[in-house]
Structure 1
Amino acid sequence: MKISTIAVIMAMADEAKPFIEALGLKPAVSAFDSRLPMEVYTGAVEKAEVVLVVGGKDRRFGVDNVGTQPATLSTYLAIDTFKPDLLINAGTAGGFKSKGADIGDVYIGSDSIRFHDRRIPIPGFAAYGIGSYRTPDVDDVATALGLKKGVVSTGNSLDMLPEDRLVIQANQGVVKEMEAAAIAWVADLYQIPLIALKSITDLVDTDTPTQDDFLKNLNLASEKLQEKLTAAIYYFAGNERPFADDTSLAS
């Protein structure tokens, strides 16, 4: 599978800034409807076009558009406008110290990407709520770039309720974040492979409040994310067969 266009979906400006600077991406101000808050940056790596869509700011509250709703819209717009061959969702996340995570570790989603806060205990809807969107085979890229691997689990809250913890454990989740499964849903509709890269800002199974760790470690985690994300872009742009099995898309 030759990759000519890579679309990167990110939620927060602070997460995206180091990547924009590293690749010298330029704003594409008229890419989307001007009423939408999403920001678009474009550039090139080797022979591949790189498109970055950032969630932008909420007009009412003045904060970054985080969570599943903006992520879904960003992904649809990226696919509909730029027709990418590969999607990458990059961002910060919580990790589990009990599962070997440290601040600044960068994980690549493997096996599948799942929701942990869509609890619908009705026959058929329970599995729908979790989603379980398969990832491509990422063993080769994880080895090449020195990435940790694990199931990425998505919810719309920064904290973790006891019910969330139980679902994450049942789903074998090792990374807790707020966008990937929504992006995976759209990627599944269009049958476009999705890579999730997540840099750890906080350890959700320690006594430190999640928001304190997040704010303290955001810059460090964003820099680590930029290093691995840039390396991943070059890997996928220059590799004629970037996955161990090209047919292993979301399903």
Structure 2
Amino acid sequence: MAPTDEIIGATAAAANMTEAEERSRPVSNLLFIIAMQAEALPLVTKFQLTEDTDRSIFTKGVPWVRYYGNYKDLQINLVRPGKDPSLGVDNVGTISASLVTYASIQVLKPDLIINAGTSGGFKAKGASVGDVFVATDVAFHDRRIPIPVFDLYGIGARRSFSTPNLVKDLNLKEGKLSTGDSLDMSPHDAAAISANDATVKDMEGAAIAYVADLLSVPAVFVKAVTDIVDGEKPTTEEFVDNLASVTAALDRAVTQVVDYINGKCLSEL
């Protein structure tokens, strides 16, 4: 079956199910949103996914890259925002993440989204390089709108989809995730991250959570720590030094998560 035919079939099936029916049946359509190629490719290999070289499911001209395939009882799509056409670097950050999440949900109709990726961690909150966390909550730390109610909108605090059984059975760590569009951390960001009570910080999570919530798709956030933000080493140096080894740890954790999800409905997670 061609990839486009698979999508049409999944879309038609989803349209004929009520929300209650969707929640009570085993998860079958899993969507990964992953920002960086280095984070995505180990999972592409692990789950033996095929790159969609046609790219016709998305708007013409966008650099987004989709991989697809079947793993056990799951149909898996993995989408990353691709590379900047001019600079050739990964399209990281909230704008690309929100756009690709919206488009992917519209076309692929997932039962569940997993945003997997690397992150900074805070030793004051118990994080160490190589730790993998499942985010309990997500929020922004760089959308400062000091007007009543708008300030809460800017923070955009949301609970992620709760997976208590998954976390317990796989013995995974939990913590709050804070998102901003800068790798470094200004004093303003530091104060906001502290107010968010965050254990880890990234550049995409809260944007993905916003879109997923808007379109009523459950989302799980799995983050592996590459650098200790409140540590002694410069963030950029530590990130580069640890990216390969931490991506391997992320790969192992995500594989455990997918194996656990296989055959279960959302309420069992």
Separation in 1 of the partners of 2:174 and 2:48? 28
Q: Which residue of 1 aligns with 2:12?
A: none
- Please report how far the alpha carbon of residue 243 of structure 1 lies from its aligned counterpart in structure 2 after TM superposition: 4.5
TM-score (norm 1): 0.94
Given candidates 209, 212, 215, the residue that maps to 2:237 is 212
Q: Deviations over 1:227-246 (max 9, x none)?
A: 111221121222134546xx
Q: Which residue of 1 aligns with 2:27?
A: 3
- Please report how far the alpha carbon of residue 136 of structure 1 lies from its aligned counterpart in structure 2 after TM superposition: 2.0
Code of the aligned partner of 1:174: T
Q: Which residue of 2 aligns with 1:57?
A: 83
Q: Which residue of 1 aligns with 2:48?
A: 24
- Please report how far the alpha carbon of residue 147 of structure 1 lies from its aligned counterpart in structure 2 after TM superposition: 1.5
2:212 pairs with 1:187 = yes
Code of the aligned partner of 1:74: V
Given candidates 217, 221, 239, the residue that maps to 2:264 is 239
C-alpha contact (below 8 Å) 2:114/2:220 kept by paired residues? yes
Q: Which residue of 1 aligns with 2:11?
A: none
CA RMSD of aligned residues (A): 1.2
2:71 pairs with 1:42 = no
Separation in 1 of the partners of 2:95 and 2:160? 21
Q: Which residue of 2 aligns with 1:197?
A: 222
2:122 pairs with 1:96 = yes
2:144 pairs with 1:119 = yes
C-alpha contact (below 8 Å) 2:132/2:225 kept by paired residues? yes
Separation in 2 of the partners of 1:66 and 1:56? 9
Q: Which residue of 1 aligns with 2:166?
A: 141
Larger radius of gyration: 2
C-alpha contact (below 8 Å) 1:39/1:56 kept by paired residues? yes
Which runs of no fewer than 5 residues in structure 1 stay unpaired?
A: 245-251
C-alpha contact (below 8 Å) 2:36/2:91 kept by paired residues? yes
Q: Which residue of 1 aligns with 2:184?
A: 159
Code of the aligned partner of 2:129: I
Aligned pairs, how many?
243
- Please report how far the alpha carbon of residue 102 of structure 1 lies from its aligned counterpart in structure 2 after TM superposition: 1.0
Separation in 2 of the partners of 1:202 and 1:170? 20
The list of structure 1 runs, each at least 4 consecutive aligned residues, that deviate by more than 4 angstroms after superposition, is 241-244
Normalized per residue, the structure richer in helix is 2
- Please report how far the alpha carbon of residue 98 of structure 1 lies from its aligned counterpart in structure 2 after TM superposition: 1.6
Sequence identity of aligned pairs in percent?
44
Q: Which residue of 1 aligns with 2:251?
A: 226
C-alpha contact (below 8 Å) 1:103/1:200 kept by paired residues? yes
SS in 1 for 2:256: helix
Which runs of no fewer than 5 residues in structure 2 stay unpaired?
A: 1-22
- Please report how far the alpha carbon of residue 89 of structure 1 lies from its aligned counterpart in structure 2 after TM superposition: 0.4
